């Protein structure tokens, strides 16, 4: 099984969406299930409703899950695992006070060396744990550090070996009995039998700890890891919440469509795709994690705009119409005429609004001609073909050339420039009276 394990702590970041897409693709390629695990154990950082929002977004992107659960549902399992490790002497209770620990940290800092746990409580036993519990003395549970280095054969980053000292004897269960992030994550990956873990490289330093946890819990399956390079903004810095384009919700509001966002995120840092414009089912045919570059990729909104435009061109006209609230395929066809000058749903919507909104020409230099044309068009029966329409109103108004086309374009589209009126006309003719009113 593969999994996407988001924390419900904020708006979904494009980096998270990329992780979800790639896990989904590989799960499909391997023919295994795709789990969505909401990592909600950090109560202080959880934001109410974000879990639902994540689920809805995944649905919008057609990343269909086979299974889902909230990590907090497994609290009792995490606690049972921690106690088992204690009984097996693979973990120990620690009663070092916050003061002691922070003084050790300060000490390490002043010596410019990395802080490591002193090992003071290492010999406390399961019996000590029983006593501490009876006497209600607060304690944490720490995992004993490994004896051998831990090796991660990362699909993208290559082999990474981490020394026991670097892993250290770290806390797995806090004083309030809740698991730490690494412990909850590794335990759940083991329970769900996750065979491959694809995630952002910000988790690279967690990996040896999580491998160590699974080793001590007796898990023997070989798990593959792939850590994706981070996404950089225009300034070459990690894309953060402050970059609005990092929010999937923002991109959707701006009128980027899911198919295009998926296409762009699969292309990111991947120069070996057989084509530039493709769909998710296409990518499942040929995508290879090994083709992702080791180095970070820069987010390029212009490239996304280009890809969005290409997907809008390919979109079924009726489907495009429904996005704008019309059932009639003509509106989708009309919108597509504007793809020369627009790249997003939002921009196309502006163009359509300009056509359909009530237009105020009171201070326009062409007001007189516009009024004449409005009256003539209002009195006509619908004329099928643009040339006959144009000839009829030219004859009736006595207007020609620029004096006809400038005010006519303004009246019909609300804009001075745009696609040829002969191309626009077939799609707007059923709505002429509404448009000129």
Q: Looking at beta carbons only, is 7 or 187 nearer to ligand GLU?
A: 7
Q: Looking at beta carbons only, is 142 or 209 nearer to ligand GLU?
A: 209
Scanning residues 148 to 177, which ones bind ligand GLU (CB under 6 A)? none
CB of 224 to ligand GLU, least distance (A): 13
Helix 301-314 vs helix 258-267: crossing angle, to nearest 10: 130
Q: Looking at beta carbons only, is 5 or 411 nearer to ligand GLU?
A: 5
Interface with ligand GLU, residue 254, by CB under 6 A: no
Helices (H) and strands (E) in the chain, counts: 20, 12
- Which residue's structure tokens are 């910000």? 202
Q: Looking at beta carbons only, is 205 or 270 nearer to ligand GLU?
A: 205
Number of residues that bind ligand GLU (CB under 6 A): 7
Q: 17 and 50 in contact (C-beta within 8 Å)?
A: no
Phi and psi based region of residue 156 (left: phi greater than 0; alpha: psi -120 to 50; beta: remaining):
alpha
Interface with ligand GLU, residue 207, by CB under 6 A: no
CB of 39 to ligand GLU, least distance (A): 4
CA distance 5 to 8: 10
CA distance 337 to 344: 13
Interface with ligand GLU, residue 203, by CB under 6 A: yes
Q: Looking at beta carbons only, is 92 or 225 nearer to ligand GLU?
A: 225
Q: Looking at beta carbons only, is 78 or 203 nearer to ligand GLU?
A: 203
CA distance 374 to 362: 13
Interface with ligand GLU, residue 7, by CB under 6 A: yes
In the list 39, 168, 310, 347, the residue contacting ligand GLU (rule: CB under 6 A) is 39
Interface with ligand GLU, residue 199, by CB under 6 A: yes
Assign 158 to helix, strand or coil: strand
Interface with ligand GLU, residue 8, by CB under 6 A: no
**Which residues partner with 158 through β-bridges?**
154
- Over its C-alpha atoms, the chain yields an Rg (Å, rounded) of 31
Q: Looking at beta carbons only, is 6 or 229 nearer to ligand GLU?
A: 6
Interface with ligand GLU, residue 46, by CB under 6 A: no
Choose the binding region for ligand GLU from 5-13, 117-125, 212-220, 317-325 (rule: CB under 6 A). Answer: 5-13
Choose the binding region for ligand GLU from 2-10, 231-239, 304-312, 368-376 (rule: CB under 6 A). Answer: 2-10
Burial class of 64 by CB neighbour count within 10 A (0 to 12, 13 to 18, 19+): exposed
Q: 263 and 311 in contact (C-beta within 8 Å)?
A: yes
Angle at 261 between CA 259 and CA 262, to 5 degrees: 65
CA distance 238 to 210: 25
CB of 30 to ligand GLU, least distance (A): 18
Interface with ligand GLU, residue 263, by CB under 6 A: no
Q: 87 and 51 in contact (C-beta within 8 Å)?
A: no
CB of 199 to ligand GLU, least distance (A): 4
Q: 331 and 321 in contact (C-beta within 8 Å)?
A: yes
CB of 198 to ligand GLU, least distance (A): 8
CB of 424 to ligand GLU, least distance (A): 47
Q: Which two tokens stand for residue 427?
A: 């799609």
Interface with ligand GLU, residue 74, by CB under 6 A: no
**Which residues partner with 143 through β-bridges?**
91
In the list 124, 155, 185, 190, the residue contacting ligand GLU (rule: CB under 6 A) is 185
Strands 224-228 and 297-298: unpaired
Choose the binding region for ligand GLU from 1-9, 255-263, 328-336, 427-435 (rule: CB under 6 A). Answer: 1-9
Interface with ligand GLU, residue 231, by CB under 6 A: no
In 10 A of CB 353, how many CB atoms? 11
The residue ranges that bind ligand GLU (CB under 6 A) are: 5-7, 39, 185, 199, 203
């Amino acid at each position: 099984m593969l999994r996407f394990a988001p924390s419900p702590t904020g708006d979904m970041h494009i980096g998270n969406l990329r992780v979800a897409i790639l896990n989904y693709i590989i799960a499909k390629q391997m023919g295994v299930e795709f789990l969505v695990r909401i990592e909600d154990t950090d109560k202080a950082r959880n934001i109410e409703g974000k879990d639902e929002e994540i689920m809805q977004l995944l649905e919008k992107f057609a990343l269909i899950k086979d299974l889902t659960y909230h990590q907090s549902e497994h609290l009792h399992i995490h606690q049972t695992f921690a106690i088992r490790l204690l009984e097996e002497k693979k973990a120990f209770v620690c009663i070092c006070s916050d003061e002691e620990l922070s003084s050790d940290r300060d000490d390490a800092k002043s010596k410019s060396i990395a802080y490591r746990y002193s090992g003071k409580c290492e010999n406390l036993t399961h019996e000590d744990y029983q006593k501490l519990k009876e006497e209600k003395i607060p304690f944490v549970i720490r995992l004993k550090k490994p004896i051998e280095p831990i090796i991660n054969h990362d699909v993208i980053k290559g082999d990474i070996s981490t020394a026991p000292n670097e892993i250290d004897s770290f806390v797995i269960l806090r004083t309030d009995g809740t698991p730490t992030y690494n412990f909850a994550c590794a335990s759940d990956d083991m329970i769900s039998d996750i065979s491959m873990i694809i995630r952002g490289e910000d988790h690279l330093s967690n990996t040896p700890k999580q491998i160590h946890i699974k080793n001590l819990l007796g898990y023997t399956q070989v798990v593959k890891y792939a850590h994706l390079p981070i996404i950089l903004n225009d300034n070459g810095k990690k894309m953060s919440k402050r970059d609005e384009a990092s929010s999937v919700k923002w991109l959707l509001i701006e009128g980027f469509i899911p198919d295009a966002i998926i296409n762009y995120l699969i292309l990111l840092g991947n120069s070996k795709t057989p084509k530039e414009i493709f769909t998710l089912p296409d990518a499942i045919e040929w995508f290879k994690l090994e083709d992702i570059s080791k180095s970070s990729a820069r987010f390029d909104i212009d490239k996304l705009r280009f890809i969005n435009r290409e997907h809008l061109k390919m979109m079924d006209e009726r489907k495009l119409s429904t996005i704008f609230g019309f059932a009639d395929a003509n509106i989708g066809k009309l919108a597509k005429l504007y793809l020369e000058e627009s790249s997003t749903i939002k921009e196309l919507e502006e163009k359509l609004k300009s056509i359909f909104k009530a237009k105020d020409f009171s201070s326009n230099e062409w007001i007189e001609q516009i009024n004449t044309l409005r009256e003539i068009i209002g009195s006509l029966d619908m004329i099928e073909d643009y040339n006959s329409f144009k000839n009829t109103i030219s004859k009736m108004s006595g207007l020609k050339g620029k004096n006809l086309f400038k005010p006519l374009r303004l009246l019909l589209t609300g804009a001075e420039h745009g696609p040829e009126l002969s191309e626009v006309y077939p799609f707007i003719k059923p709505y002429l009276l509404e448009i000129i009113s």
